[in-house]
Structure 1
Amino acid sequence: MSLVDAFERALRENPDGDAVQTADRTVRYREFDKLTQVFADELRAEIPPGGFVGIEAGRGLGAITAMVGALRARRPFVFLDSRDSVSSNSEKVRLLGVRRLARSREDGDVDLADVPEAWRAKESLGTPSVEGELCYAIQTSGSTGEPKCVLVRPEPLAVVVREHAERLSVGPGSRTLQFARLTFDGCMTEILWTLTAGACLVVLDEARLAPGAELRDTVERFGITHLKTTPFALTATEPSAAMRLRHVINGGGACRPAVVAKWSAVAALHNAYGATETTVCNLLSGPLDPEGCRDGVPLGDLIGDCGYHLRDIDDSPASAGGPVHRGEIVITGSAVAAGYLTEHGVRPFGDGTEYRTGDVAELRDGGLYFVERLDHQVKVRGYRLDLGELENVVCQAESVAEAVLTVESHDGSEVAGDDALVCYYLGDADPRELRRHLEGVLDPYKIPSVLERVDALPYTVNGKVDRDALRGNRILGEDGAPGPDRQVITLVRRLTGVGDASLEDNFFALGGDSASTLILVAKLRELGWLDAGVRDVLRAGDLRVLTDQLRERSV
């Protein structure tokens, strides 16, 4: 069944049900049918088959009307957000040959207007040439390189949407919060699984979606039953007994055991995985059990018309010919999108039926578990490390909600080389206890040099952790406080991340190693203890002994 067929069935079966609710208006399916059909007729009259229409990506009834209207008219669409750069929107318009833009009126109707002059290109590439029909175009986030324009077909999207609705029990009475920005592909499933199943889509401005107290209030106030959101939002928001949630879906990043424990107490929590290039979602778990997720959260079972295999990334002879239990996820089947739209036309992925995701995963106990991005593998202390794998181990520790690992200099500056593994984490875990936990489960070379507890993690606009911002917060400088006690404690806290390090602590028990010892000695000399040496640190049973030795020397 096509998306249009499914939508029209929902209209027939639930004409008086709520289709779209905004902050100040609720539209029933009967009225929504008229709004979308009027716009579909206008599109057929103005845009030839295969021609793209732009849709203004505002949060409101109009954008949803335009999207469904474009589907009913069988005209491919692209969302254009005025908050994005002029160059980004101009490139989409030029590549796709967009000439007309759907703009929302206050009454929910949609008007077709010319593309704003600032976005127009002198030369357009015209309608993309592909075999078969297109549904939409969307630009990748560019978090792992330059943004690319992906062309997606309607048939595989219809299968993904139908299976979501079935597995998540979406139907009349269900209420989905439209969370993702319209320029992110996650919006496609949450909008369409709702409107093809006769459920209600709740569309609100972004201020009401801010993770934390605002999102919690929104879910409660609007009686949300289905919520698909990011790991950041699930970590930052506390569930409540006043919520009517039935299903919560983690998407867009690794799901942590602490998130499973928290949200599975109020709803069925699912983990989802997919790529823009493979029609939004390829794996979806059933309801997750906290006890079964202590050692990691599975990506789930296949969803949609696709398959997968793991491509061997280990070049050692021992792996040749044997089963691959860890490798790059390669998605196969018709769910793979038509390709990237480039200056030279459409560039398919591989042979057109497989896409290398760049994500490393491992098969364990019959389940597939995310490890890390291939381009996030690092080399520290002469070893190749998967930061995602280590982050997952840290998150298995009690009282750790989230963890992010980076490779930095020991002192956080950009002058020294990147020679330290630094772990930032959310939670109440004491860094000393956390280090003892890691020492019991990790090889010594995998244990972070610095364990730094933080109150919040910075995120980019597309919901990814901003590692550059984390690094920028670790600039080691002089504290300016008098006396060796305060100065040594300040240095040690910054080098190890242990914010409550005291004079009774041993530097090496806090995480100090040979590299950070050299940094500590160098900083002590900068502060005036010119004869301070590595032996002083090695021989000091605790930091009090070290400061006593320094106090006896002239400064």
Structure 2
Amino acid sequence: MSLIHGFARAVRENPDGAAVRTADRTVSYREFDKLSQMFADDLRAEIPPGGFVGIEASKGLGAITAMIGALRARRPFVFLDSRDSVASNAEKVALLGVRLLARSREDGEAYLTDVPEAWRAADADAARGPLDGEDELCYAIHTSGSTGEPKCVLVRPAPLAAVVRDHVEQLSVGPQSRTLQFARLTFDGCMTEILWTLTAGACLVVLDEARLAPGAELQETLERFGITHLKTTPFALTATEPSRAMRLRHVINGGGACRSAVVAKWSEVAALHNAYGATETTVCNLLTGPLDPARCRAGVPLGDIVGDCTYHLRDLDEGTAPAETGDAVRRGEIVITGPAVAAGYLTAQGVRPFGPAGDGTEYRTGDVAELRDGDLYFVERLDHQVKLRGYRLDLGEIENTVCQAESVVEAVLTVESHDGSAAAGGDALVCYYLGDADPRDLRRHLEAVLDPYKVPSVLERVEALPYTPNGKVDRESLRGSRNLGKDAVATPAQQVLTLVGRLTGIGDAGPDDNFYALGGDSASTLLLVAKLRELGWLDAGVRDVLRAKDLRALTDQLPQRSV
């Protein structure tokens, strides 16, 4: 069944039910049907088949009206956010040949107007026209650029309909359901949450972004509006506390790795699901059933196939080999195949289909996963693999192990310079983590379960993690937050202890601690030796640190060895 057939059935079977609810208004399916049909008629009159319409990406009834109207008119659309740079929007408008922009009146009606003059190409004739020769397209969406330059992805309607159909079934969406429209409209996660709702006769709750801020604001919104279905990010699920006042029935983690602590927390109030997919493969490809916290302590699976696709694991060293259920453990890059693979990237030279032969048959996601006993688990992105001291490390694998420790909620690893300099590369594996775990206990846990070269040099407990606007951890901000500058403490001994605390993440390092038991390594040893020399122990060496039973053995020698 197509998306429009699904919407028409919802109108037919639930005409007086709530289709869209905003902060101050509820619109029935009968009324929403009229609004979206009026806009569809305008589109057909103004834009030829294959021509793109822009939709202003502001939270509200008008944007949803325009999106459904575009689907009904069979005109592809792209969401454009005025908060993005003028240059970025101008590039999108020119690439897609967008002439008209859908905006919203106060009554929720969508109307067409010219795109802002600042977004128009200087040479109007240079703008692209309708994409002749392409199969019917549903929408264009631009990747975030987190793994390179942003790219324009073209998505077809039929594969999206299959994804939506499977979500409606697995999440039991119906007329009594209320979905919170959480994702920004320029992120493809919005497609499934909007469409599983409006093709199933459910109510879509659309609110301004201030009401969606993770934490107390999101908690209050979920309670006040009686949300039953929520798809959101790991950050939002970590920062927000569930409550018994909520009416949630299904919560979906998407857009990042799901942690066992999140499963344990949210499973108390709803069925928690984990979802996986890529913009280039029609939003979502894998979805779990309700997760059991007891079975997620060693990792959270990615789920079973949704939509019209299959996958295999591409061997990281020797080419492609299928991932079979019988394998005990198999690691490789996730490759999605089938109709869910999008039409391709739109470039100035035309559409570039996916697949090594450019035939559009497969998409290599760049995500490394592990197949264990029939379940697929995310490990790390290929471009996040690092080489440190001769070893190749999957940071995501170590992060997941850290999160298995008691009282750890989330963990992020980076490779940094021990001395906090901005020099390229790094000599320290640094782990920032949320939770109440004592860093000493955490280190003992990791040393018991990880190979020595995988144990982080620094375990740094933080109160919060920085995130990008699309809900991903801002690793660059984390690296910048750790500064091993000059100490402003009274005595040389205190300066040594402060440095050791910063080098290992053990902020309360004391005289009775052994440097290596705290996490000291060869690189940090050199920095400690440099500090001892700076404090006057001019002939201090690596051997002195290695032989010292504890830090007191070093600090007690400072008065005698200094000159």
The TM-score with structure 1 as length reference comes to: 0.97
Q: Would the aligned equivalents of 1:130 and 1:338 in 2 still touch at CA under 8 Å?
A: no
**Which residue number corresponds to residue 508 of structure 1?**
516
Alignment of 1:137-148 (within 5 A): 137-148=140-151
Shift of 1:415: 3.6
Q: Deviations over 1:296-325 (max 9, x none)?
A: 000000000000001111249999x99781
Within the candidate set 525, 533, 542, 2:541 is matched to 533
Q: Would the aligned equivalents of 2:492 and 2:535 in 1 still touch at CA under 8 Å?
A: no
Within the candidate set 346, 350, 372, 2:380 is matched to 372
Point out where structure 1 has 5 or more consecutive residues left out of the alignment. Answer: none
1:83 matched to 2:51? no
Residues 332, 130 of structure 1: alpha-carbon distance in 2 compared, 3 angstrom cutoff: farther
Partner of 2:508, secondary structure, is coil
Within the candidate set 395, 400, 404, 2:403 is matched to 395
Partner of 1:325, secondary structure, is strand
1:243 matched to 2:243? no
**Which residue number corresponds to residue 309 of structure 1?**
312
**Which residue number corresponds to residue 522 of structure 1?**
530
**Which residue number corresponds to residue 44 of structure 2?**
44
CA distance in 2, matches of 1:205, 1:551: 63
1:325 matched to 2:333? no
Within the candidate set 277, 280, 284, 1:281 is matched to 284
Shift of 1:441: 0.8
Shift of 1:330: 0.5
Q: Would the aligned equivalents of 1:129 and 1:345 in 2 still touch at CA under 8 Å?
A: no
Point out where structure 2 has 5 or more consecutive residues left out of the alignment. Answer: none
**Which residue number corresponds to residue 351 of structure 2?**
346
Q: Deviations over 1:210-239 (max 9, x none)?
A: 111111111111111000000011111111
Question: Greater CA deviation, 295-304 or 476-485?
Answer: 476-485
Shift of 1:536: 2.8
Matched letter for residue 453 of structure 2: Y
**Which residue number corresponds to residue 16 of structure 1?**
16
Question: Greater CA deviation, 477-486 or 339-348?
Answer: 477-486
Q: Would the aligned equivalents of 1:215 and 1:237 in 2 still touch at CA under 8 Å?
A: yes
1:385 matched to 2:393? yes
Matched letter for residue 523 of structure 2: A
Q: Would the aligned equivalents of 1:129 and 1:346 in 2 still touch at CA under 8 Å?
A: no
Residues 343, 138 of structure 1: alpha-carbon distance in 2 compared, 3 angstrom cutoff: same
Q: Would the aligned equivalents of 2:168 and 2:200 in 1 still touch at CA under 8 Å?
A: yes
Alignment of 1:117-266 (within 5 A): 117-121=117-121, 122=123, 123-266=126-269
Q: Would the aligned equivalents of 1:400 and 1:428 in 2 still touch at CA under 8 Å?
A: yes
Shift of 1:353: 1.7
Q: Would the aligned equivalents of 2:48 and 2:130 in 1 still touch at CA under 8 Å?
A: no
Shift of 1:130: 4.2
Shift of 1:368: 0.5
Q: Would the aligned equivalents of 2:341 and 2:363 in 1 still touch at CA under 8 Å?
A: yes
Shift of 1:485: 2.6
CA distance in 1, matches of 2:43, 2:106: 20
**Which residue number corresponds to residue 434 of structure 2?**
426
Question: Greater CA deviation, 353-362 or 415-424?
Answer: 415-424
CA distance in 1, matches of 2:535, 2:132: 67
Shift of 1:539: 2.2
Alignment of 1:467-486 (within 5 A): 467-486=475-494
Quote the sequence identity (%).
82
CA distance in 2, matches of 1:399, 1:316: 40
Q: Deviations over 1:235-265 (max 9, x none)?
A: 1111111111000000000001111111111
Q: Would the aligned equivalents of 2:49 and 2:130 in 1 still touch at CA under 8 Å?
A: no
CA distance in 2, matches of 1:297, 1:317: 25
Q: Would the aligned equivalents of 1:245 and 1:266 in 2 still touch at CA under 8 Å?
A: yes
CA distance in 1, matches of 2:282, 2:374: 24
1:456 matched to 2:474? no
Shift of 1:98: 0.6
Matched letter for residue 190 of structure 1: E
Matched letter for residue 355 of structure 1: Y
**Which residue number corresponds to residue 339 of structure 2?**
334
Residues 283, 54 of structure 1: alpha-carbon distance in 2 compared, 3 angstrom cutoff: same
1:355 matched to 2:358? no
CA distance in 1, matches of 2:57, 2:349: 27
Residues 485, 183 of structure 1: alpha-carbon distance in 2 compared, 3 angstrom cutoff: same
Residues 221, 353 of structure 1: alpha-carbon distance in 2 compared, 3 angstrom cutoff: same
Residues 317, 367 of structure 1: alpha-carbon distance in 2 compared, 3 angstrom cutoff: closer
Residues 357, 318 of structure 1: alpha-carbon distance in 2 compared, 3 angstrom cutoff: closer
Shift of 1:530: 2.8
Partner of 2:20, secondary structure, is strand
CA distance in 2, matches of 1:474, 1:536: 27
Shift of 1:417: 4.7
Q: Would the aligned equivalents of 1:297 and 1:369 in 2 still touch at CA under 8 Å?
A: yes
CA distance in 1, matches of 2:374, 2:507: 41
Shift of 1:92: 1.1
CA distance in 2, matches of 1:500, 1:225: 45
Q: Deviations over 1:84-104 (max 9, x none)?
A: 111111111111111000011
Q: Deviations over 1:93-126 (max 9, x none)?
A: 1111110000111111111000111001121121
Partner of 1:432, secondary structure, is helix
Partner of 1:552, secondary structure, is helix
Q: Would the aligned equivalents of 2:535 and 2:562 in 1 still touch at CA under 8 Å?
A: no
Question: Greater CA deviation, 308-317 or 90-99?
Answer: 308-317
TM-align CA RMSD: 1.9
Q: Would the aligned equivalents of 2:313 and 2:321 in 1 still touch at CA under 8 Å?
A: no
Residues 329, 153 of structure 1: alpha-carbon distance in 2 compared, 3 angstrom cutoff: same
**Which residue number corresponds to residue 64 of structure 1?**
64
Q: Would the aligned equivalents of 2:173 and 2:200 in 1 still touch at CA under 8 Å?
A: yes
Partner of 2:456, secondary structure, is coil
CA distance in 2, matches of 1:130, 1:440: 59
Residues 392, 262 of structure 1: alpha-carbon distance in 2 compared, 3 angstrom cutoff: same
Q: Deviations over 1:347-380 (max 9, x none)?
A: 1001212111010111101100111101111101
Matched letter for residue 239 of structure 1: P
1:106 matched to 2:106? yes
Shift of 1:554: 3.7
Shift of 1:493: 0.6
Residues 311, 318 of structure 1: alpha-carbon distance in 2 compared, 3 angstrom cutoff: closer
Question: Greater CA deviation, 99-108 or 120-129?
Answer: 120-129
Question: Greater CA deviation, 541-550 or 272-281?
Answer: 541-550
Residues 204, 381 of structure 1: alpha-carbon distance in 2 compared, 3 angstrom cutoff: same
Q: Deviations over 1:6-27 (max 9, x none)?
A: 0010001111111111111111
Matched letter for residue 371 of structure 2: L
CA distance in 2, matches of 1:495, 1:257: 28
Matched letter for residue 405 of structure 2: A
Q: Would the aligned equivalents of 1:479 and 1:487 in 2 still touch at CA under 8 Å?
A: yes
